[in-house]
């Protein structure tokens, strides 16, 4: 194979190697080369490696390899290898293919979207052989991989000392600070990336609900709403997702002349990391209602047959809607969006805190918000406020309760209630807005419905209960004379 401006193996010249020359791997390899590193590249299907080097070999120093053995041989010791292959069985197969060629101290990083439990397993297997395994989240899609992603590496501190400086160099930078830091041991990096994606789901759903409310309430065109989102993007909601929302809403379909958003089929998938965030939250017992509603909203959108039957059969009783004070309504929706967004992030950070405690990861939540400020899909000004909140109180129990966020949500509370109430009256589905408000009310309520549930459980299953007025565990003899017995 011919190299770009490179030296061929077997001499160990490469600083780092990338396996997997699909869109993410090739762009990451190019990014590394753009920053002056000599990059060994390998792909299972050889033609793909040749294609990448043919098209981009002039951008830096690449060492293309035809087989795994010569790929590993071309790397300086300790070897640093990044896998960018399909998550799941392909990742295991690729690890198995490189393993026989590695030596103690070498570092294998998986930059794919792997499940954190797979990462914990793989880290255990490789560390038993004296190798470092780094499960790393990489966010930002193909563009980010090329120009600067947000990188969330797990693994040992020793592995980070070797690999981290390179990853920090190629990551996005905000205010001169890299969007990459050592997240924590074994699965911590992939866990944080998973929650990042879950939050992304919630953020997108909340923006979608805002758009739907404004369109139906104001009867506004997508182009008019593009202006609203562009204005919001100039304020405290400034973020990549709000920015691209304006861009999508302004776009006109060339074929029909209609707004692009009106010609796109309204079905979204919910595979992978968003779903895992909710599944894992259920295991951890952490309510991530915003992310869960966003995931289920996508599932509902894809239930086309059920939606068709429902549209034909079910009554629609919504009141006609014609908002009179348009500016006030836009402000209400903006405040409801911000408050719901704070809830979604607060819940996501709760999930990170719970997993960090369970797995002993000691994750610095403020640092996570900091490395999400650039490169990734949820990049936003707002993340600075989250970092500041955790700097004020690193042990913060509840992000929502930080004085800055408590004030934001408190000031938006009545707008939030008006929006959710108006949505219900006018038949506009707002699952993420409504569940976020219900979560907020559930948090601040004096007495939750769990007291009644505990009574029910004790009656039908003798599950016992505790009392508010004295310690102990109790059971009422429901089928007998209803005396209460103390069990402990
Ligand atoms: P894909 O996820 O489409 O994977 C294709 C790559 O995996 C090719 O290099 C392919 O080699 C290789 N591969 C497969 Br498939 N099975 C293999 C096996 N058994 N052994 C060795 N190699 C195998 O690529 P991608 O979209 O570039 O994503 C790479 C990783 O990055 C994934 O884990 C993805 O989830 C993650 N990610 C993607 C994005 C994104 O925006 N696309 C963003 C963030 C993270 P071949 O050419 O020989 O078939």
Q: For residue range 16-39, what is the model confidence (pLDDT) as tens digits?
A: 999 999 999 999 999 999 999 999
pLDDT of 7 reads 44
Mean pLDDT of 445-464: 98
Query: Ligand 1 mean position to 42 CA, how many Å?
Result: 12
- For 389-423, write each residue's pLDDT tens digit: 999 999 999 999 999 999 999 999 999 999 999 99
- For 108-157, write each residue's pLDDT tens digit: 999 999 999 999 999 999 999 999 999 999 999 999 999 999 999 999 99
Compute the half-sphere exposure of residue 285: CA atoms within 13 Å on the CB side of its CA.
2
Per the CB < 8 A criterion, the answer to whether 340 and 416 are in contact is yes
- Distances in whole angstroms, Cα of residue 105 to Cα of each of 81, 98, 132: 12, 14, 6
Categorize the per-residue pLDDT at 317 as very low, low, confident or very high, splitting at 50, 70 and 90: confident
Nearest CA to ligand 1 atom 16: 90
Active-site residue, from 168, 193, 275, 341: 193
What is the share, in percent, of the chain residues with pLDDT greater than 70? 98
Mean pLDDT of 96-119: 97
Residues with CB under 6 A from ligand 1: 20-25, 43-45, 48, 84-87, 90, 93-94, 112-113, 138, 141-142
Residues 164, 151: Cα–Cα separation, whole Å:
10
Give the number of the atom of ligand 1 that is nearest the alpha carbon of residue 89: 19
Query: Ligand 1 mean position to 207 CA, how many Å?
Result: 30
Given its phi and psi angles, is residue 26 left (phi above 0), alpha (psi -120 to 50 degrees) or beta? Answer: alpha
Given its phi and psi angles, is residue 190 left (phi above 0), alpha (psi -120 to 50 degrees) or beta? Answer: alpha
pLDDT of 10 reads 57
Average pLDDT over the chain reads 96
Query: Ligand 1 mean position to 300 CA, how many Å?
Result: 28
**Around Cβ 370, how many Cβ atoms within 10 Å?**
25
Is pLDDT of 71 > 50?
yes
Mean pLDDT of 317-344: 95
Mean pLDDT of 159-171: 98
Q: Clarify whether 200 is annotated catalytic.
A: yes
Active-site residue, from 73, 123, 200, 209: 200
Mean pLDDT of 232-237: 95
- pTM reported for the whole predicted model: 0.95
Residues 144, 378: Cα–Cα separation, whole Å:
12
Tell me whether the omega of the peptide bond preceding residue 10 falls within 30 degrees of 0, making it cis.
yes
Is pLDDT of 326 > 60?
yes
Give the number of the atom of ligand 1 that is nearest the alpha carbon of residue 24: 27
Mean pLDDT of 203-218: 98
Query: Ligand 1 mean position to 420 CA, how many Å?
Result: 41
Q: Is 115 in a helix, a strand, or coil?
A: coil
Nearest CA to ligand 1 atom 3: 86
Give the number of the atom of ligand 1 that is nearest the alpha carbon of residue 44: 48
Q: Clarify whether 341 is annotated catalytic.
A: no
Residues 63, 444: Cα–Cα separation, whole Å:
59
Categorize the per-residue pLDDT at 318 as very low, low, confident or very high, splitting at 50, 70 and 90: confident
Query: Ligand 1 mean position to 24 CA, how many Å?
Result: 7
pLDDT of 74 reads 97
Name the DSSP class of 376: S
Query: Ligand 1 mean position to 41 CA, how many Å?
Result: 14
What is the share, in percent, of the chain residues with pLDDT greater than 90? 95
Categorize the per-residue pLDDT at 9 as very low, low, confident or very high, splitting at 50, 70 and 90: very low
Nearest CA to ligand 1 atom 9: 20
* Long-range pairs for 395-399: beta carbons < 8 A, 24 or more residues apart: 396/365, 398/346, 398/350, 398/443, 399/342, 399/345, 399/346, 399/349, 399/350
Nearest CA to ligand 1 atom 12: 85
Give the number of the atom of ligand 1 that is nearest the alpha carbon of residue 19: 9
Neighbour order of strands in the sheet with 150-153: 61-64, 38-42, 16-19, 80-83, 107-110, 132-139, 150-153
pLDDT of 333 reads 98
Nearest CA to ligand 1 atom 41: 141
Nearest CA to ligand 1 atom 22: 44
Categorize the per-residue pLDDT at 271 as very low, low, confident or very high, splitting at 50, 70 and 90: confident
Query: Ligand 1 mean position to 373 CA, how many Å?
Result: 26
318 φ, ψ (degrees, to nearest 5): -65, 145
Give the number of the atom of ligand 1 that is nearest the alpha carbon of residue 85: 7
């Amino acid at each position: 194979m011919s190299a770009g401006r490179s030296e061929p193996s077997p001499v160990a010249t490469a600083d780092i190697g990338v396996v997997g020359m699909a869109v993410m791997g090739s762009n990451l390899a190019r990014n590394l080369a753009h920053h002056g590193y000599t990059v060994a590249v390998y792909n299972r299907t050889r033609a793909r490696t040749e294609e990448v080097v043919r098209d981009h070999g002039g951008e830096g120093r690449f060492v293309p390899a035809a087989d795994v053995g010569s790929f590993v041989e071309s790397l300086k010791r300790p070897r640093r290898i990044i896998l960018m292959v399909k998550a799941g069985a392909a990742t295991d197969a690729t690890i198995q293919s490189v393993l026989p060629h590695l030596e103690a101290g070498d570092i294998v990083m998986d930059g794919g979207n792997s499940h954190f439990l797979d990462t914990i397993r793989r880290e255990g297997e490789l560390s038993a052989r004296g190798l470092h395994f780094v499960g790393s989240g990489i966010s930002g899609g193909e563009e980010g991989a090329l120009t600067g992603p947000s990188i969330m590496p797990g693994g040992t501190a020793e592995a980070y000392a070797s690999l981290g400086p390179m990853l920090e160099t190629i990551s996005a930078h905000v205010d001169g600070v890299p969007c990459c830091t050592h997240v924590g041991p074994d699965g911590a990096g992939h866990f944080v990336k998973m929650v990042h994606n879950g939050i992304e789901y919630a953020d997108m759903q909340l923006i979608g609900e805002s758009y739907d409310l404004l369109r139906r309430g104001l009867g506004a065109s997508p182009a008019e709403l593009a202006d609203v989102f562009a204005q919001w993007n100039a304020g405290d909601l400034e973020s990549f997702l709000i920015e691209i929302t304006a861009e999508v809403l302004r776009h006109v379909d060339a074929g029909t002349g209609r707004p692009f958003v009106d010609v796109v089929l309204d079905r979204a998938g919910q595979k992978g990391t968003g779903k895992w965030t909710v599944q894992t939250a259920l295991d951890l017992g952490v309510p991530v209602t915003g992310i869960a509603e966003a995931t289920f909203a996508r599932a509902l959108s894809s239930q086309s047959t059920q939606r068709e039957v429902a549209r034909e059969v079910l009554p629609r009783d919504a009141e006609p809607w014609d908002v009179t004070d348009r500016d006030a309504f836009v402000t209400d929706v903006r405040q409801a969006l911000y408050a719901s967004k704070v809830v979604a992030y607060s819940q996501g950070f709760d999930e990170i805190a719970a997993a960090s405690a369970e797995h002993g990861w000691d994750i610095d939540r403020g640092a996570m918000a900091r490395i999400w400020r650039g490169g990734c899909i949820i990049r936003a000004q707002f993340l600075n406020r989250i970092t500041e909140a955790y700097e004020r109180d690193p042990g913060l129990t509840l992000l929502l309760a930080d004085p800055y966020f408590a004030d934001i949500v408190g000031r938006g509370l009545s707008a939030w209630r008006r929006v959710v109430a108006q949505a219900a009256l006018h038949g506009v589905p707002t699952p993420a807005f409504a569940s976020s408000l219900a979560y907020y009310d559930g948090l601040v309520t004096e007495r939750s419905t769990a007291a009644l549930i505990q009574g029910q459980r004790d009656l039908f299953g003798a599950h016992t209960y505790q009392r508010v007025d004295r310690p102990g565990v109790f059971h009422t003899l429901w089928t007998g004379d209803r005396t209460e017995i103390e069990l402990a």
